[in-house]
Amino acid sequence: MSPIGIVSTGSYVPTTVVTNEELAGDAGVTADWIIRKTGIHERRRAADHEATSDLAAHAARGALAQAGLRPEDLSYIVLATSTPDHPQPATASIVQNLIGATNAAAFDVNAVCSGFVYALTVAERLLAGQPGNRYGLVVGVDIYSRILDYSDRKTCILFGDGAGAVVLGPAEEGKGVLETGLITRGDQHRLISVPAGGSRIPPSAESVRAGQHYFRMDGRGVRGFVHENLPAALHQLLDTAGVPADEVQHFIPHQANGVMLSEVWPELGLDNAALHLALKRYGNTGSGSVPITLDLVHRQGLLAENDVVLLTGFGGGMNVGSALLRWGATPYARPARTALPLAG
C-alpha cells in the first residue's frame, strides 16, 4: 500500500448571505441569542438554480486547478452528502459529467456531517492499492437550506450551504494520510434525522403536511454524544497512529456549533494545536464543513510542510470520522481570487 495524501484543496459557497437578523423572527429568537448559542453570525444560501452537484463542481474545479491536474486524470470521485440532487442517480455521477472526469468511477457516501472523512477514508484505501497514476477527488457538500423548518430554532439557525473538495494523490513516505478512524453508534441514530422521503415513510401529501421532510435534531442528545464519543475517538486514532497528542499542530473539526466546540475543546488534550473555525461566517455546512475550513486554512498559508493535521467530523448516524495527516500538499503560490476569509 503506497502512501496517499492531499495534493490540493478547493471550496465554494453561494453568494447569498443570510444574517441572523433574517432568521431570528421566524425562529422566535433574537440575533444576539443565535450568536450566544452558536457563535454563528451569518451563513450562505444556494440560489434557486443551484443544486448540490453545482456547488460540488465549483469546489472540484478549484481543487483540480490548484493541483495542476486535468479532470481526466482522476480515477475516482467520492462525494459525501446527505442532501443529494435526487434519491438517484448518485450526485457524484452528475459531478463527474459537469467537470468532464470521464475516467473516474463516481459514487456517493452518506454519513451526514461525518461524510467527508468517511469519503476520504474510502478514496485513500482505493488509491493506495492502485498502481500507476493515482488521483482521486473527494467532495463534501450539502444544501441544508432546502430541508430546514425555519420555525425550528434548534436547527434553522445553524446551517449554511457549501462545498469543499480535495484531490488525493501519491505522497512521500511518511507524509499524507497517516491513519483514519470511523465509529458508528447506530443505537443513537434517532438523534438526527429527516424522517420521510425514504422507504420507511414514502413521500405523500400526509408526510408533507406533518413536516416529516424537514431536518430534525435532538440538540441536547447530540451535545451529549459529542462529549461522550469525540475525545475517546480522537485519542484512539492517535494511539493507533503512534502520534502523541502534543504533536498535532492543527485541528479542523466539523463546524457544528461554536459554543459546543468551545465546551469540548478542553477535553481533547490537543494543547499544541491551533483550533480552526470558519463557522462565524459560514455556519454548519454539513459534509462541506471540514473541507471548506481546510481549504480556507490552506489558502491562507497556515499549513507548513510536515505539519500534523487532525480532521474530524461527527453527526447523524451517529458517526465520528477522523483522519490524521502529515501535510505535504502543494503550497499556494499566490492568494486565489476566490479565496474565502477564515473567521473564528
Kindly list the catalytic residues. Answer: 113, 254, 284
209 burial level (CB within 10 Å; 0-12, 13-18, 19+) = exposed
Alpha-helix residue ranges (DSSP H) falling in 129-257? 205-209, 219-241
Backbone φ and ψ of 292, nearest 5°: -65, -50
Can you tell me the distance from the alpha carbon of 243 to that of 181, in angstroms, rounded to the nearest whole number? 14
Omega before 341 cis (within 30°)?
Answer: no
Greatest C-alpha distance within the chain: 57
Query: What residues have CB less than 8 Å from 72, skipping those under 6 apart?
Result: 100, 101, 102, 103
Contacts of 305 (CB under 8 A, 6+ apart): 327, 328, 331
Contact 257, 39 (CB under 8 A): yes
Question: Comparing C-alpha atoms, which of 5, 119, 165, 137 is closest to residue 77?
Answer: 137
What is the DSSP secondary structure assignment for residue 145, as one 8-state letter? G
Distances, alpha carbon 34 to alpha carbons 22, 25, 69, 258, 296, in Å: 11, 11, 42, 11, 24
Quick one: angle between helices 31-38 and 20-27, nearest 10?
A: 100
Q: What is the CA radius of gyration of the chain?
A: 19
Residue 178: name the closest of 268, 240, 112 by CA. 240
Burial of 194 (0-12, 13-18, 19+ CB in 10 A): middle
Distance separating the N- and C-terminal Cα atoms of the chain: 37
Distance CA 37, CA 281 (A): 15
